Structure 1
């Protein structure tokens, strides 16, 4: 029997996993059961369920509820990576999470693309937290200028003399017990969404794929490369929009879980019914920040435990 806890995760702490939490192995998505979103704390059967608690060194992945935006934190306690920081008015929410976890140093920040709902809060983070390296996409001259928010971030990075790397497909970085791979963008596009940095973070045998706002055109180009996209957790592209999470891309990822970061009753209709149906058809267990608040996945490299804010 597999049970999802609806207990609050605020203030943010490293979870101590026990019987109240989901614990599943990182097996193919076909072995996972689908949970009705309105019944997130109900029980269901899963071939990969286990009563074992997590042990040893762990990585936690926080899908921070920043409303209609995106911010994902990876941390082992020793090392931390932040991907995006939500809208301009959500930087404080990201800092609250970092402060509660006593994280005052980030090894890497990835700004997936220049839209403010992804990098708007980044200046708040850069002003308060020590950051070693920032990874950003190369924006083609054809679609310059970008956004004032992005230009402000670039100015702050220069002022603070923080190392900036342009995302290169196929490049990998070892960050303590984590491995970061940048998989996209692999081409140039006329849409900033498709210039999103697509990344895969691995911890032992567990991996997470984050695709920013990359849409199907960018997804198709990534599929042409010889990348291993298989990931246990998929942070769904473009807030679950119908323009992302193409069938072939999803089939290559084969996730057991998907996390969708979107605002409650947002004006964009995110997530789309078509994306939710594709995930359901593949047997993917879905979590949404608009319904579940902040979502925390914790893994020991083999098993994955899940906890939601609500």
Structure 2
């Protein structure tokens, strides 16, 4: 069994530019070259799962939704037989939904999670599956750096746990040759701006946008610091949350970024030799948000589950439970009765246009 080598060091600045080419075609399984990295953003509907493969290592980031079962078959189609590192960036059920199936099907050397606790059945099943496996377990923290095969993995978040799952989500910067990749999980704009203010090395050629392209993430100042050439989001077609949010797409368009989404392009495969990237997609789509986001794409706070409520900015599991205990709610202004929700945070909840009241 391969092991993940662990070192702690200062983050390194990358220099130089990369010439990047692209094509659009159906994804095909191919033999991995000696110097290649294949990154596949798997189409798992309104969930997350990303596969990174080199000649000498396999890394899986997240495992799709709890109410679907495609991850194992997609990994087999990609030629996966074992996994060196399995990272769950956040405890949300659209990221950890199929952890148990993956661990049951493939030998896994090491599993990473943030260390945040959760009480959902999906989380409990995932934890039990990890405990029942032979995989090593680790909780990474910002500032740590790891090497696995030809990949360097820099942890940019969290520094510490606060009990807020978005704040505690794992953020990773992956480096392969001269190309860097940034994975932002469900990290929201407050943490993004902290990373910018703290001088963390965020430069990346490809960014996996936070929170499915939600307006709670991908602040312009943050994106300018990352300075990517490509942006990718994972979302289900016609999803009820309206992801990706129009303002995020407009923002990345203003920054002249080439972008891809699994709702439009299906699984997105990027193949890098360490200095260039070629892009292959299942579906040949060139633009998104051709129609307005439907007005009913919101979370009804009088009916939503705890997991659904935690999709709302500033609403963690504890606040979600307080909200449920307050039902029925007749006006969004009543959310200021929740501990930690003041006028400022209420304004941001309303501006997000995700929380709503329905009869």
Instruction: Assess same fold via TM > 0.5.
Output: yes
Shift, 1:283, TM fit: 1.2
Shift, 1:155, TM fit: 1.1
In 2, are the aligned partners of 1:187 and 1:221 still within 8 Å (CA)? no
Cα deviation digits, residues 22-68 of structure 1 (max 9, x gap): xxxxxxxxxxxxxxxxxxxxxxxxxxxxxxxxx86110100000000
Partner of 2:290: none
Shift, 1:7, TM fit: 2.3
In 1, are the aligned partners of 2:23 and 2:278 still within 8 Å (CA)? no
Partner of 1:60: 38
Distance between the aligned counterparts of 1:289 and 1:157, measured in 2?
Answer: 28
Mean Cα deviation higher: 178-187 or 118-127: 178-187
Distance between the aligned counterparts of 1:147 and 1:203, measured in 2?
Answer: 36
**Does 2:113 correspond to 1:123?**
no
Structure 2 SS opposite 1:192: coil
Distance 1:228 1:149, change over 3 A: same
Structure 1 SS opposite 2:207: strand
- Asked which structure has the greater RCO (Cα within 8 Å, sep 6+), the reply is 1
In 1, are the aligned partners of 2:24 and 2:279 still within 8 Å (CA)? no
Partner of 1:109: 86
Partner of 1:159: 132
Shift, 1:121, TM fit: 1.2
For structure 2, the residue ranges without an aligned partner over 5 or more in a row are 1-19, 284-359
Partner of 2:123: 150
Cα deviation digits, residues 90-138 of structure 1 (max 9, x gap): 4x42222221232111111110111110110111111111111111113
Aligned residues: 264
**Does 2:176 correspond to 1:176?**
no
Structure 2 SS opposite 1:220: helix
Counterpart of 1:280 (choices 253, 271, 289) is 253
**Does 2:243 correspond to 1:243?**
no
Structure 2 SS opposite 1:107: strand
Structure 2 SS opposite 1:286: strand
Q: TM-score, normalised by structure 1?
A: 0.80
**Does 2:112 correspond to 1:135?**
yes
Distance between the aligned counterparts of 2:78 and 2:224, measured in 1?
Answer: 34
Partner of 1:94: 71
Cα deviation digits, residues 253-293 of structure 1 (max 9, x gap): 11100111000000001001111111111111000100000
Shift, 1:190, TM fit: 4.6
Distance between the aligned counterparts of 2:25 and 2:252, measured in 1?
Answer: 25
Shift, 1:211, TM fit: 0.7
Shift, 1:169, TM fit: 0.4
Counterpart of 2:56 (choices 71, 78, 89) is 78
**Does 2:281 correspond to 1:308?**
yes
Partner of 2:30: 14
In 2, are the aligned partners of 1:186 and 1:221 still within 8 Å (CA)? no
Q: TM-score, normalised by structure 2?
A: 0.70
For structure 1, the residue ranges without an aligned partner over 5 or more in a row are 17-54
Distance between the aligned counterparts of 1:171 and 1:247, measured in 2?
Answer: 26
Partner of 2:233: 260
In 2, are the aligned partners of 1:216 and 1:246 still within 8 Å (CA)? yes
Distance 1:292 1:15, change over 3 A: farther
Q: Give the structure with the higher percent strand.
A: 1
Partner of 2:183: 210
Distance between the aligned counterparts of 2:150 and 2:43, measured in 1?
Answer: 26
Distance between the aligned counterparts of 2:239 and 2:277, measured in 1?
Answer: 30
Cα deviation digits, residues 147-194 of structure 1 (max 9, x gap): 221121111111113211112101111111111111102244453122
Structure 2 SS opposite 1:124: helix
